[in-house]
Each structure stands twice: as C-alpha cells, then as structure tokens.
Structure 1
C-alpha cells in the first residue's frame, strides 16, 4: 500500500529572487528620478559652482592641495591628519578603481537634461558605480577627521559638495555617490583600527612647566659638545651651523677616543647652558650631567632618529637656536634605572630592538600594519623568551618595552609622545609562555584588538620593577646596549630636566 504523498510546503526562508529584482528595479527608478530632479533644477548657484568644484576634485587634486597646506602649517596634529588622509585616499582609490568598479556594470547617466553651463566638459567613460570622486572625498575627509576632528568636520562638508557636484554635472547617479561615500568611509574606519590615531591620553596632566631664561641670541654662556660623526656625518653639519648662528657659544668636538660623560662634565663646569649635538645616546649622557649640575639642556638633533628631540618639537638646529634666542625653557621627565642611568626615550629587554629593525626594513615594501604584524610574528617565533618576575608573578616575554612618558598609539608599535612631562612610565609586555601564543597575538594584531588580548599588558605607572628569573638580563635604552641586571627598578624624575624647546602649536 502506498503511503500518502506529502505536499511540499514552501519554506518560509526560501530566497525570493524575484522580490529582490523588484526592489532593485525600484531603487534604480528612484535613483534616476532623483538624478533628473537635480539635473533639471534651475539654480544659478549650482551652475556657477558645481562644474569648477567637480573639476578641482579630478585626480584628487583638491585633496592633495589641502593636504599640502596642512603639512606646511607646522602643527603636528594637522600634519598627522594630512598623512592619514592621503594614505586613506590612496588605498580607497586603488580599491574603488581596481575592485569596486569591476563588480557590477552600470552605464553613466545621459546628461542631456543637465544645463550646458553646468555639464562637465568631458563625459567619463568608466563604469558609473561607484563614484570614485565621492569615495576619495569621503576617505580624505574622514581620514583627516580621525586625527583632527575640527578639520575633518569642515572637510566632510566639502566632501558632500563634491558628491553633489558629480550628480549636478551629470557624471553619476545619486546611488553611485552614496556607494562611493560608503567605500571611502569604510576604508578610513578600518585604517583607524589597524593604525590607531595619535591623541592625548585620558590621564589628566597639569599644564607644561616653563622656566624664565635670559635670551641668548648669539649663544653667550652656551657650551656645546657635538659628536661630528653622529647620524652618518650629520654632526659635522650641526657644528658648521652653530658656528654661524651662535658665534658666542663654545663648541667642543667629540673625538672617537673621548669619554663622553667626562667631556660633558668638564664642559658643565664652565657653562650656563649645556648643549649637546648627537644621537639619543649622547643626549641621554648629557641629560645625566644636566641633572647633576642643575644646568638647562639645549639639544641639537644630529643623530639618525633623534626621538627625544622630535618629541620635544625640535626637528632642526634652527628650532633650538630660536628657543635659545627666546629663552623658551620647559621642564620634562626623565626615567631613572636603579637611580643611576638616565632614560630619555625607551628601555627594553628581550628582542624589542630586533623587532624595530625588522619592521623598519619591511616598511619599505609593505604597509606599516602588515610590516608590524610580520615583524612581530618573526620576533616571537625566533627569539628566546626571557622570564621576569613582576609583583610576584612570573611572566615569560620576548618583547618588553618601557617608555619615559606615555606613548601613542596603544599596542606594540608606539611611534611618538604627545607630552614629555606627565610623570608616568609606559610599560608594554607581550607574554609568550602560552600555547599558540604567536598565532593568538598575530590574530589580535591583525584584528586591531591587541589591547584586549590576555597576552598583552599595557600599564601607566610612576614606578616599575622586575627581577630576572634565570640570571641577569641586558637592558637596552635610548638606542644603546646597556648593562645586565638581576633586579631593575625604573622610576620617574618628574619634570626634573630643564630643556630649551619651542612652544607647542598643537
């Protein structure tokens, strides 16, 4: 006996492609109607402004011009905003033209209804969906806004007008513009996750402490110790500039066999201002002498990286010369290792120096986030971990970094400090004594969630100590390989060092 045939009921969740096609057609019709409404609008304002604005945005010329103005402003936040905006724009342009425009073919609108005086001179022939001009506009505006909110807000309005100009001149449908805005904004947001913006920490810090100092436009009372071989010979240029700009200053050239600290202490005995030209290691030695003698320090950048000088706002010898002429002295923090060694920038154990070198080499070929991820994975895989005891807990780490004052951004690729006088140490530790630690850390880094990983520790403290579990470990600091320590204690000497530096314009 046959069993009764069961009727097949339509699934509640079956994909109805015909309904989707109807929705798509409806949106396309609405898109065309909005285009016709804008195209037929009788507006002298649109006629006068839309075509010039659209042409200005061709090949992103408008955005590159704005980025150049921000870069020349001299304000660090504006310069960072320009760099991020251009980088976001470049990625967006590549994605839009090489990927997004190939997904779905959509013809350009017919611009016959657009007034001739508003119509573009040349009708584009590429795919209409999405609008490349709009994608670049959104990418640049939001990219700059991530670093500098007020600038991004103004540029957001300008980006909206650029999008409107693409419709008003007959180049795109409104839907193309919205799709372009979405692509540009998405890439900017993803970029902010991979490379977080540099911003003030939420830690409350009192206003900068500044001393009144007599102006020294000719360098009277200044004794400068300069390493002529620093920075692959940049020190020689520092000496030549000082002889011209500060004729009353005494200049001492550091020889290859000279003891740096002894020469600095001898110079401090007859100086009113102790000046130093060289890399971060030489500047750190001068800071130790300056602390002991109570003299203000003048730093002339002459090394390869000049991290301390750059974070002071001193990028050229002229910056320090101008600060001496104006008497601009500010007090900054120094970190002390076992109350003996001065640390101006960072100290590390394990393989952090190797990580930095690897990342720098890879950045010439790849983006910074990808280079950071690859360098981190390589360092964790190849480096022998170090075991240290912190507050009674043993931590196995390959990468340990301690900074004098708080660094930005968070994570394990800090690049700069906004302040050098917050009274805190910035401690960052990657823990590797766990199963699949390298893979877990790499995944967290790529996802932009390293700060939330249980294997990553980031602390802001006035004092930090550790003990080496398996014997003394080498502590490198300020670009120099230091001594070995069984027990190490770092503490902040709060605003203990007076330094000539320009007033910030952030």
Structure 2
C-alpha cells in the first residue's frame, strides 16, 4: 500500500476507534429524566421544525430579534441543503448499530440516510450562530438548545460523534457566510459634526413641540413624559387633515420660539427640519413614528438625554441633502432619495415588511421590481447611461459593496450615490449573482461613489422621485446636493 494510502487508512482507523469509544461512553451514562428530553428535542428538530418555531417567536418581538430570526432561517436552509443534499450523498457512511445505546433511548424509526454529517447538528449550529450574529443575547438563549439537539443525535445512537462535530462546523460556516452577502446592521449612532452652543431652555421654556398624531405610534406615554419633563414648553397638536407646514409656522409665530421640537417619525422630522433651517431654529427630535431612522442615526432616541441637552443648550451639526426637480425650489431629505424602480420597491417593501421583516421584504421587492422594470436612459453628470434604478443617501452608508444597511457618517458633506446599470449584458442576472456571492463591490453593474453633488437628466418621460420613503413628485432633471452642517439638533456630545 502506498505511503499516502497507509496514512489515510491509519487516520480513518483512529477516527473510527475514537468514535466508538465516545459513543460507548455516552451509552453508559446512567438513565435520567434528561433522556426523554433529549429524545424529544431530537424529534422536534426534524425538518428544522424546532428552529422555525423559535424563529417565529423571535420575529414576533421585532427589531434585532426579527433580523436574527430571518438570518437564522436562511442559515438553516443553507446548512440543510449542504449537509443533506450534498455532503450525505458524496460521503456515505453507515450509522451506528441500533444496539449501541440502551433500548429506552432508541428511535422507533431510525433514519436511513447517510450518517455523515449530522444534518441536525448542522442546522442547530447554523441557527444558533446566525441568531448570535444579529442578537448576542438571543444567541445565548438559543445556544444551549442547539447544543442539546446536536448531542442528542449521539445520545440516541443515530450518529457517530464525528458526524455531529463536522455537521456543527458546517452549520457555523454557513451562518458566518451569510455575512458576505447580508451585512450586519450597525446599531451605533453615526459619526456627526462638531458641537455648537444653542439656547438653553430649562423646563422647555421657549420650545415649541409639535405632536403628529398620525406619525404611526399609538403610544401616549411619550407625550405624557414630555409634558412632565418640559412643563414650560408650548405643545402644538398637528391636524393631519390640514396643511402641516402652515400649522408649524403658526405654532412658531404664536410664541417667542427659540427652538422647535418634533414628536413623530422620519416624515414629521423632515417637515420640522426644513422649517427649523428656514427660521434659524435648532431642532429637538423625539422619535415617535413607525420609522425613526434619522433619530437613530443621530443618536437622539432617548427622551431623557434630549431634555438634558435642552437644559444645557448643547447641540450638534448635522448634514442634510436637497434635490431640485426640474429647476423648482429645493426639496430636503434626511435619509435617502431615489429614482427608477427604487420608489416602487419602497412601496412593496413597506407593504410586506410587517409580515416578513424589513430586509427580507426589501430583497423580495427589489427582485420583483427588477423583473418587470424598464431601463431609464439618463445623463449622470453629463455621461450617458442606461440604469434600472438610482439611490442617493444623505451621508455615507455602509457597506459600500452590499445593500446599504447602516449610516456611519453624517457630517462629511457627502452623498452616497449608487445605481444599477442596465447597459451591460444580462445585467439583472449578474446583479443577483453578485449580490448572493457578496461581490457587488467588484460588479460591473453596481456603481457606488461619494460626491458632494450630482446632476441627473432623464431622456424620455418623467420619472417618480422618492425622498425618505415618500413619493412627492416626478420630473426629468434632478440636481442632488449635500448641505453640510445645515441642521442644528439638540444632543449632548
């Protein structure tokens, strides 16, 4: 026998011997009530039913846990396909003999597929790892359950220990690989501009607080807390059936306002920010809407911290962006603006997000829109292009080589411009392949750049413009520009 063959045979013999010894030690563990629990856990994990149930529970709590549930479900699907659909047929192995463990532990119907690797261990490790990537706290809860499921396959005698080890390693690898095409959202606030002194407003004296009842939050506790913390402030309840801008101006004119406050979501904050800049007033943001992206990125999600900043007269400078449509007066946006199929994908995302979660809904919406979209023929800063859609972010979004997930910078006077080219062969298919492979950064159809301004001229009919999730108007010429440090927001440094 050649030397290499002898080495492989020796390694195989050693592994087989170790597997048998470890399985024998497991079989000789004294019977306890844990035996039944492990048997139940193993059965519940059949076809990943256990993990889908846990994912549903996590998703119901929303936020980070919902993202953890989606990543976990995707990792389970990938690990199951790789372990059961690829590895088992390629590396067939007999399962341990039925009499390897006591009768009380045995399954009535033993699986007939290859023993190597353990699909249960692969999906358990994939789910626990993926959940931990998004939510370490949830991962700590799930990990012991995943470990119990993985070990249970040895305990009940349907897998060799090495099957479980390799399966678990495969599952961890699949979960980690999801980060290549789906980045983890950074929860930390964005890097913002320098501090600036503004009027100190003890107990809210000189502050006009706008309350938008239609912002999307039905929780009155925020308003109650604000009235208690800011008893000297003037509160104006906005009527969504009337012109919001006129009501804001009227509220400011009704008192000697030194600052403007807003309780609402991104749309409400945008309206208040425009008027705050126009009237030369600093802005106090109290997030109370369905979407509070701007407040989260600026780091003003805590009512107590914002009221402390009001007391101290402490504020920071924030970049905003504007867009001129067909030469009309500039329209501001705080987060993002877009052309082409992107506005349609935003509508679908908002429709499906409550059921599936934001990012899965965004991915499905993007595919759906791209499948039926027509190319836009446009001149981008004078250069002709055919594009499917164009995205413009206020500030720098991250990652640059994947779908944007978070905004690490809001103070460098930059617009994050991204567009999908339609003038390359099989551009839609190539986009999907590059996105799944995590290679958008090198893709010929995905263009990303940082600029301070950009001009877009559409050849043909008017196209819809979306700003901060809304679709205010359509046009043919669009000039986007950053306005560095244009907005003063109350926040402690």
Output the TM-score relative to the length of structure 2: 0.71
Query: Is residue 255 from structure 1 mapped to residue 239 from structure 2 by the alignment?
Result: yes
- Corresponding residue of 2:303: 320
In 1, the alpha carbon distance for the partners of 2:432 and 2:198 equals 50
TM-fit CA distance, 1:375: 3.2
Pairing 1:272–2:258 present: yes
Per-residue deviation, residues 404-425 of structure 1 (Å, max 9, x unmatched): 1122344674343234334321
Q: Does 1:135 align with 2:119?
A: no
Measure, in 1, the Cα distance between the counterparts of 2:412 and 2:309.
24
Partner of 1:286: 272
**Residue in structure 2 matching 1:180, options 162, 167, 190:** 167
Distance 1:88 1:483 in 2: 37
Give the one of 286, 306, 323 matched to 1:300. 286
Q: Find the aligned partners of 1:382 and 1:136 in 2 and give their Cα distance.
A: 35
Contact 1:218–1:325 under 8 Å retained in 2: no
Q: Is the Cα–Cα contact under 8 Å of residues 217 and 321 in structure 1 kept in the other structure?
A: no
Of 380, 390, 403 in structure 1, the residue corresponding to residue 393 of structure 2 is 403
Give the 3-state SS of the residue equivalent to 1:417 in structure 2. strand
Asked if the contact 2:316/2:491 (under 8 Å) is kept, the reply is yes
Q: Would the alpha carbon gap of residues 199 and 223 (structure 1) be closer, same or farther in structure 2, given more than 3 Å must change?
A: closer
Equivalent residue of 1:481, what SS?
A: strand
CA distance in 2, matches of 1:106, 1:367: 42
Q: Does 1:457 align with 2:456?
A: no
1:138-165 CA distances to partner (integer Å, 9 max, x unpaired)? 425653676699x999x99999999789
Q: Provide, for residues 20-78 of structure 1, a one-character-per-residue CA deviation record: whole Å limited to 9, x for no partner.
A: x9999876643331134546889xxxxxxx99x9899977999x99xx99x99xxx9x8
Query: Does structure 1 conserve the Cα–Cα contact (< 8 Å) formed by 2:72 and 2:128?
Result: no
Task: Confirm or deny: 8 A CA contact 1:137 1:184 kept in the other structure.
Answer: yes
Tell me if structure 2 keeps the 8 A contact 1:229–1:236: no
Contact 1:230 1:278 survives alignment (8 Å): yes
Any idea what SS the aligned residue of 2:205 has?
A: coil
1:357 aligns with 2:347: yes
**Per-residue CA shift, 1:329-355, capped at 9, x if unaligned?**
433211122483221011112231111
Question: In the alignment, which of 379, 386, 392 is matched to residue 376 of structure 2?
Answer: 386
Give me the whole-angstrom Cα distance separating, in 2, the residues matched to 1:81 and 1:457. 27
Q: Is the 8 A contact 1:138 1:159 kept in 2?
A: yes
Q: Are residues 313 and 96 of structure 1, via their aligned partners in 2, closer, same or farther at CA, if it must alter by over 3 Å?
A: farther
Instruction: Decide whether the 8 Å contact of 1:120 with 1:169 is kept in 2.
Output: no
After superposition, the Cα gap between the structure-2 partners of 1:330 and 1:480, relative to the gap in structure 1 and judged at 3 Å, is same
Tell whether 2:204 aligns with 1:219. Answer: yes
Shift of 1:454: 1.8
Root mean square deviation, CA, Å: 5.4
Aligned-partner SS, 1:225: strand
1:107 aligns with 2:95: yes
Looking at structure 2, the residues matched to 57 and 220 of structure 1 have their Cα atoms a distance apart, in angstroms, of 60
Does residue 228 (structure 1) correspond to residue 213 (structure 2)? The answer is yes
Of the three residues 303, 318, 331, the one matched with 1:332 is 318
Determine whether 1:342 maps to 2:332. yes
Cα shift at 1:478:
1.9
Query: What is the CA distance between 1:137 and its match in structure 2?
Result: 5.5
Q: Which residue of 1 aligns with 2:468?
A: 478
CA contact (8 A) 1:222 1:250 kept: yes
Aligned match of 1:16:
none
Query: Contact 2:76 / 2:127 at 8 angstroms: preserved in 1?
Result: no
- How far 1:251 sits from its partner (Å)? 0.9
CA contact (8 A) 1:230 1:302 kept: yes
SS of the aligned residue for 1:193 comes to helix
Q: CA deviation at 1:228?
A: 1.8
User: 1 CA distance for matches of 2:110 and 2:299?
Assistant: 46
Gaps of 5+ in 2: 27-33
How far does the alpha carbon of each residue in 1:384-437 deviate from its partner, in whole angstroms, 9 at most, with x for none?
443321232112223111111122344674343234334321111122245544
- Give the aligned partner of residue 494 of structure 1: 484
CA shift for structure 1 position 226: 1.9
Mapped partners of 1:467, 1:374: distance in 2: 29
Alignment gaps of 5+ in structure 1: 1-20, 43-49
- 8 Å contact 2:65–2:134 — kept in the other structure? no
Note if contact 2:300-2:306 (Cα within 8 Å) is conserved in structure 1. Answer: no
Kept after mapping to 2: 8 A contact 1:35/1:167: no
Question: Per the alignment, in what secondary structure is the counterpart of residue 181 of structure 1?
Answer: helix
Q: Which moved more, 1:479-488 or 1:343-352?
A: 479-488
Q: Distance in 2 between matches of 1:111 and 1:211?
A: 76
Q: Distance in 2 between matches of 1:97 and 1:500?
A: 53
Q: Among 183, 192, 199, which residue is 2:179 paired with? A: 192
Q: Return 102-111 or 190-199, whichever deviates more.
A: 102-111
TM-score by length of 1: 0.70
Shift of 1:449: 3.4
| Residue 486 to residue 250, structure 1, CA distance change in 2 (3 Å) | same
Aligned residue number for residue 29 of structure 2: none
